[in-house]
Structure 1
């Protein structure tokens, strides 16, 4: 007889079942080894980034396998809300999906349909072939698919901020993640994620999303900004990234042991 498997709780369930915000980091390197190291660090969640990274479908599968033995919750950011891409990401085993650049409720409804089987959606049926259903070893996977999948959408433009309440109110959207970097760019403040106008727009989004009864999260590498957003009611926050940690800490080693001037000179050669 085949083994009957169960899937872990979704990120939606983790947030709802916790009495504190969920703290996480980006995994952008594409290295399963690095992902496993991060998975064992004691964080609540990892964002496996399929948008701004070299991570494709095969690598994404390996990353999910690498972190699976740990209690951390992986969330996969899709490169877009494309129906085919979302189908592939779900089939390879992502239970928690973040879709970037959602500006309207209409776009939100489209991605909800993309992650649901017919008749409520348009997700292609291939569970017998897919890791997502553990090759049909998860009993009732298709029947209970909505319970096994959580969907978060990313608001990261001035248009998205204005439509945040309508986006959050879409049935099937489990939460909203605010991206201050692209938001700043859309406001004419490229690279100024902590500009007062940007933080005000983030907090406006918080209020709108929470008003719809949905959790809201944000990216904030700056510790002061992260704490301010937590104090403002963020339910989930990303506070670092594997590649950023490696870049800054390796630079710190060079500065300490070679000297800032020498290191800069060496890097210029």
Structure 2
């Protein structure tokens, strides 16, 4: 059983909650851990996080007890292998449009006989080689590392049966890109998008897959009703903006209130 499945099993039927990290920010990671988030998403598709930084974030998260997921930019051998050597608990491949692409992820992330991951015994993932048997540790890692195929296009939707049938690969649903691909950009609550999401969940469950997604507050109830296993419900930029906006609004209100009170005091004296 991989580490994601262990954590889901320990959650007693409730979805795990995760936060995404778009900057190399250890402070946000620690705050998220203290607040009770169970998973940290290290973003490498859109954000400028390097593999060196990703490895550091995996190290820090391990110290807090949080699981880590690295979203890589593509299924090239270099992307998969370098992410795997960082020692995350999960690797997610975006735009997983075909079973062939997902098979590439498996090929480069798994050691033989399950794949063709290159031998490198001194990576963080293999505890720097400080183990009794490197081959045994490799097979253990084959079991423990969770792989995710991100379903977020109409092409992936059309191929969901074949993708979900791939052994030991769970499903990540990307609502925003899925909505855009279906012709409804920005409308993740559109009936056609919801219908597609429900189909993905249904097929994934049929094949015994765990289901992950990321969404904003307006979609929380919908996804929790679908019974997903891991919900990424915020990120560092959203938290920064929300905190800054709250401070700005509170200060502006205080200034306005103080100004009104000064006017009232002046008129009373006159």
TM-score above 0.5: yes
Q: Do residues 151 (structure 1) and 152 (structure 2) align?
A: no
Counterpart contact for 2:111–2:139, Cα < 8 Å:
no
Q: 1:138 to 1:150 in 2, by over 3 A?
A: farther
Q: 1:164 to 1:17 in 2, by over 3 A?
A: farther
- Structure 2 distance, partners of 1:195, 1:138, is 51
Task: Please name the residue that 2:168 is paired with.
Answer: 172
Deviates more, 1:65-74 or 1:55-64: 65-74
Task: Please name the residue that 1:229 is paired with.
Answer: 223
1:19 deviates by 1.6
1:212 deviates by 1.1
Deviates more, 1:82-91 or 1:114-123: 114-123
Query: What are structure 1's unaligned runs of at least 5 residues?
Result: 1-8, 263-269
1:102 deviates by 0.4
1:57 deviates by 0.6
Query: What are the equivalent positions in structure 2 for 1:242-261 lying under 5 Å apart?
Result: 242-258=236-252
Q: Deviations over 1:61-97 (max 9, x none)?
A: 1211222211221111112111111111111212311
1:152 deviates by 1.1
- Structure 2 distance, partners of 1:18, 1:161, is 29
Q: Do residues 53 (structure 1) and 47 (structure 2) align?
A: yes
Q: 1:167 to 1:16 in 2, by over 3 A?
A: farther
Bigger-Rg structure (1/2): 2
Counterpart contact for 1:11–1:75, Cα < 8 Å:
no
Query: What are the equivalent positions in structure 2 for 1:68-79 lying under 5 Å apart?
Result: 68-79=62-73
- Structure 2 distance, partners of 1:179, 1:11, is 18
1:17 deviates by 4.0
Query: What are the equivalent positions in structure 2 for 1:24-39 lying under 5 Å apart?
Result: 24-39=18-33
Counterpart contact for 1:95–1:148, Cα < 8 Å:
yes
Query: What are structure 2's unaligned runs of at least 5 residues?
Result: 257-270
Alignment partner of 1:203 out of 198, 201, 209: 198
2:147 aligned counterpart, secondary structure: strand
Q: Deviations over 1:163-185 (max 9, x none)?
A: 22221110131x10100111111
- Structure 2 distance, partners of 1:121, 1:157, is 26
2:63 aligned counterpart, secondary structure: coil
1:81 aligned counterpart, secondary structure: coil
1:207 deviates by 0.8
Task: Please name the residue that 1:216 is paired with.
Answer: 211
Q: 1:226 to 1:138 in 2, by over 3 A?
A: farther
Counterpart contact for 1:95–1:132, Cα < 8 Å:
no
Alignment partner of 2:129 out of 136, 151, 165: 136
1:228 aligned counterpart, secondary structure: helix
Task: Please name the residue that 2:96 is paired with.
Answer: 102
RMSD: 1.9
Matched residues, number: 250
Alignment partner of 2:5 out of 12, 16, 36: 12
1:234 deviates by 1.0
- Structure 2 distance, partners of 1:124, 1:88, is 10
1:258 deviates by 2.5
Counterpart contact for 2:93–2:149, Cα < 8 Å:
yes
